[in-house]
Every structure is written in C-alpha cells, then in structure tokens.
Structure 1
C-alpha cells in the first residue's frame, strides 16, 4: 500500500479537528463546561485523547475555537441564504440577526463562551476566529463603511455587548430591544434580516 499523500493527510487532520470542535459544542451545551472533560470530547468525536493536545493547548481554547466555528457557519449560512443578495444593508441585518439568534437559541453555550473570553486567558486568536472576523469585516465593507477594519471592530464590540445583555443572569435584556438599538445605529429597516418571530430556520 502506497503512503498517503500530504493532501490526504491534511484532509484527515481537518476532519478530525472539525469532529472535535463539533463534539465540544454538543457536550458543553448538554452538560455544561465544568462537567465536560477533554476525554468526553475525544470520545464523542471518536478520536484519541492525545489528539486534542495536538490541536489545542487546553479545554478553554478548544471551546473558543468550537464556538467561533459555530458562529462562522451560522453567519455564512445567513449571508448566503435564499434569496441571495448583494445589498449591504440586508447583509448587515442578517449578520446581526445571526449572532443575536445564537444567544437566543443556545444560551448555555454562548454564556459559557462569553465567560471564557472574560477570563485571564481572554480572547483567543485562532483560525476559526479569523474566519469569523473575515466574514464580519467583508459584511461591514459591503455595507459601505469608510474604514472597514475600524467599523468591524466596533460592530464586534456592539455584538458582544448585545449577546452579554441577552444572557445576563437575572437581568436579561429583550432581544427585540437590543436589535432595535443596533438597527437604529446602522440605519437598518426593521423588516431586513430575520425579525423576531420569524421561524428559526430563516436565521
């Protein structure tokens, strides 16, 4: 049997990593962060425990990458869903709704993610985060921002603040109010994107 090519090996590594990221999201959502071990994640992914250390320094880094991947996939699906559009205002509305939608749909996971960002380890720059950042940056650019990089950072901060407000234990803000504030900030009509009350499948 001839040895596998570098391309095949790279594809196998990519799939293994994706299975770990998917398993991390599933288990933390089901059990919570503290009750989920790296061995649990490896078992769910059908991978060796040592493989996690090959890709990630620890559980917190793995979870951040996993949630950033989930956010990237949700955002990409929202931007590309039918009817396809090149309207920058519609695309920005879809982006806002995609991120707020995750806070509503998966509160335990997103609360854990935001708590992790606020720890000493902070915000981790990883390939999944970079893919998410690139999509948001492109969306801001298509919206017509004069300085896409600066406006992307502002949008990221506003979205993070809105997600925290939705998830704040004991004093959550209604997502409709937060959406209205963001839409007013960017001059977006309420009917753009996926207004609250529409089916979740539209997000």
Structure 2
C-alpha cells in the first residue's frame, strides 16, 4: 500500500532533523573544517544520497543551523507580560538555553565568529533582515516603556552582555556560575529577585574560572 503524501512529508521532515542534529554533534566535536558530510550522514543514520539531496554541501547545513538559531532567539523575545516580566523572561530564556544545551550554543558561536563561516552567518542575517529588525524594535520598545534614555543603546548592550555570557559559559562549561550571573542581571536591571533557579539547585559560590583541556 503506497504511503500517503502527509506520511511522506513527515518522513522527509524527520530525516532533515536527523541530519541537522547529527551536524551539530559533528561540528561540536570536530569543528566546521574537520566535519565531513560522510560522518554527518553516518551519525544521522541516513544515506549519503539523501543527505546530499537536502544539503549538497556544509555551507547549506551551516546556513540552516544558523537560521534555526536566529528563529530561536526571536522566539525568546516574543513573550507577553509587563516590561519587567518580559525582560526577566528574555534573560531566563537565554540562560535556560545555556543550562539545557551548552554544546549547541558552542557550535553556533564558533560558526558565527570563524572567518570561514562568518559570511554564512551574514548571509542568513541578510535573508532575515525584516525579522531581525522586528526583534530589535521589540527590545527597544521594551526599554522605552521602562523609561530608558537611549532604548537603542540598551538593546545593543543587553544583547552584548548576554552574548558575552554565552561565550564565557561555552569556554568554561559547568563551572561557569550561570545562576549567580542570572541574579546579577536581575539586580542590574532592577528586577525582583527570581524565586526559583533554572537548574533546580541552589547557586554555588563563584569560583575561579579556568579552562579545561577537552581534547580538541
């Protein structure tokens, strides 16, 4: 009995997601240049031909991953509530991503800053110009309603601080004091202290951050 069109579509979507998930794993372990389509397809459990059909080269794979990342960032910004509630939710959304999936953050960060793949990031940003402007305007409007003298600068600084936190967390891993940083951010923006932690555990004292040799 032939498969229905909806089932075929579901299987195609599942295959694409397997390939993208495998690409994240391989990029995390071997970097962009060390990763191969052959290794990615092996991890995904799909044929080389199927992977090449969806993603003929690594360039397109990276573009898809960065595209999904930017959509995720935009989704974090689109939260309801008062300006203070929204700002707290944005901070928590970013930090929860660190606590829940640090390797993905590391891969995306690497792809964005590496000279060989930064242009791909720029291309994706250009394609999503309208969505990114909406994101920026959304944040600037939030700070305007909070009474900021320069909402545009506040938007830039919030994103800069959060991206710096992501960078440090990627470099130092579990020893990075995410919960303490979260409380600091709440205090800096005059928000009520969080009632719970993102990890479900009490924050540990801040130690001295030292990089660990991870073998790559």
Superposition TM-score, scaled by structure 1 size: 0.64
Q: Which has the larger radius of gyration?
A: 2
Cα distance, 1:99–1:168 mapped onto 2, change above 3 Å:
same
RMSD of aligned C-alpha atoms?
Answer: 3.9
Show the counterpart of 2:212.
Answer: none
Residues 136 and 152, structure 1, Cα contact 8 Å, conserved in 2: yes
Show the counterpart of 1:92.
Answer: 87
CA-to-aligned-CA distance 1:44-69 (integer Å, 9 cap, x gap): 9xx77355469x95333332112222
Within 5 Å, give how 1:49-64 maps onto structure 2. 49-52=52-55, 57-64=59-66
Partner Cα separation in structure 2 for residue 66 and residue 58 of structure 1: 12
SS of residue paired to 2:176: coil
Within 5 Å, give how 1:18-33 maps onto structure 2. 20=16, 22-23=17-18, 25-33=20-28
Show the counterpart of 1:105.
Answer: 100
Partner Cα separation in structure 2 for residue 178 and residue 28 of structure 1: 30
CA-to-aligned-CA distance 1:80-127 (integer Å, 9 cap, x gap): xxxx52x10110010011011111101111111111222114353144
Residues 137 and 148, structure 1, Cα contact 8 Å, conserved in 2: no
2:74 pairs with one of 72, 87, 105: 72
Show the counterpart of 2:211.
Answer: none
Cα distance, 1:142–1:169 mapped onto 2, change above 3 Å:
closer
Cα distance, 1:162–1:132 mapped onto 2, change above 3 Å:
farther
SS of residue paired to 1:168: helix
SS of residue paired to 2:172: coil
Show the counterpart of 1:168.
Answer: 171
Partner Cα separation in structure 1 for residue 173 and residue 191 of structure 2: 30
Runs of 5+ unmatched residues, structure 1: 1-15
- Runs of 4+, deviation exceeding 6 Å: none
Show the counterpart of 1:6.
Answer: none
Superposition TM-score, scaled by structure 2 size: 0.61
Partner Cα separation in structure 2 for residue 48 and residue 99 of structure 1: 31
Partner Cα separation in structure 1 for residue 92 and residue 136 of structure 2: 13
Residues 93 and 183, structure 1, Cα contact 8 Å, conserved in 2: yes
